[in-house]
A = this chain, B = another copy of it.
Amino acid sequence: MESRDDMSPFVRKLRHGARLTEDDEAILTRLAEPLHRVERGDILPEGTEARSIVLIVEGWACRYKQLENGQRQITSFFVPGDLCEPFGAVPALTDHTLSALTPVRLARVAPHAARSAAGASSRVEEALWWDLLLADAIGREHMVNLGRRSAVERLGHFFCEMHLRLEMVGLVDQSSYDIPLTQAELADLFGLSAVHVNRSLQELRGSGFLSLRDRRITIHNVGALRELSMFDPAYLSLQHRVRT
């Protein structure tokens, strides 16, 4: 049995969603095998038929939609431990592109495997549903970001969110973590132009909220940044309970 720190990020993450036994964790670990490597770039282009669910084990990925007029909107980000589709997804044509933002190690989970894992243990089932609800909650918050927050607030909110998401899988050191994204990618995430992302970042740096150099961010005052960006961590900690 692996030590707690060696566990896959997927298992580490799902521990937040249900009280897992060793058997449960073994089931989940088996789901995340075998590993594949992919380079930076599209993994599943739009219109491809998805026959398996991608689970990110290492690296960052995103899902985006490309518009006819050349614009792009990133709709979600994936970090180690994240499932890129709902665990019960039916094989279907994708309406979006799944893309690796860095070289990625991933596992391809067959839909029937994920469902039967849920059937094998009610705690695994709870954990998988918890993970799905978490992804939804992140998506909703992203909509609020896009619709109602200013550029600086969007950036601040995102950095707060990634801080907690990465902490769940042990990828945060103090208040700093790697963030392998270009400003253009951030722009496509926030629905802004790259130029404006640049200026907003400078504002956040200039006001002392954070440092961002060489693809690593350090948040100097988490409380202040959360207040600035109206970040309420509640949506990331959907509390779990044993099913009755």
Q: Which residues of A contact B (CB under 8 A)?
A: 63, 65, 67-69, 71-73, 75-76, 86, 88-93, 95-96, 111-112, 125-126, 129-130, 132-133, 136-137, 139-144, 146-149, 190-191, 230, 234-235, 238-241, 243-244
Contacts of A238 in B (CB 8 A): 90, 92-93, 95
Distance, CA A88 to CA B125, complexed state (A): 9
Q: How many copies does the complex hold?
A: 2
Contacts of A191 in B (CB 8 A): 146-148
15 contacts between A and B (CB under 8 A): A67-B148, A73-B144, A86-B132, A88-B132, A90-B133, A90-B241, A91-B241, A92-B238, A111-B243, A112-B244, A136-B139, A142-B143, A143-B146, A147-B190, A148-B191
Separation in Å of the A138 CB from the closest CB of chain B? 10
Would you call B71 and A148 a contact (CB within 8 A)?
yes
Separation in Å of the A185 CB from the closest CB of chain B? 13
Would you call B133 and A67 a contact (CB within 8 A)?
no
Contacts A129-B86, A148-B71, A240-B90; A143 near B140 (Cβ below 8 A): no
Q: Of all chain B residues, which has the CB nearest A244?
A: B112
Distance, CA A241 to CA B144, complexed state (A): 34
Distance, CA A63 to CA B140, complexed state (A): 10
Would you call A89 and B143 a contact (CB within 8 A)?
no
Would you call A133 and B92 a contact (CB within 8 A)?
yes
Would you call B69 and A133 a contact (CB within 8 A)?
no
Given contact pairs A63-B140, A67-B144, A67-B149, enumerate 10 new A-B contacts (beta carbons under 8 Å): A65-B141, A68-B230, A86-B129, A86-B136, A90-B130, A95-B137, A136-B139, A139-B139, A139-B140, A143-B146
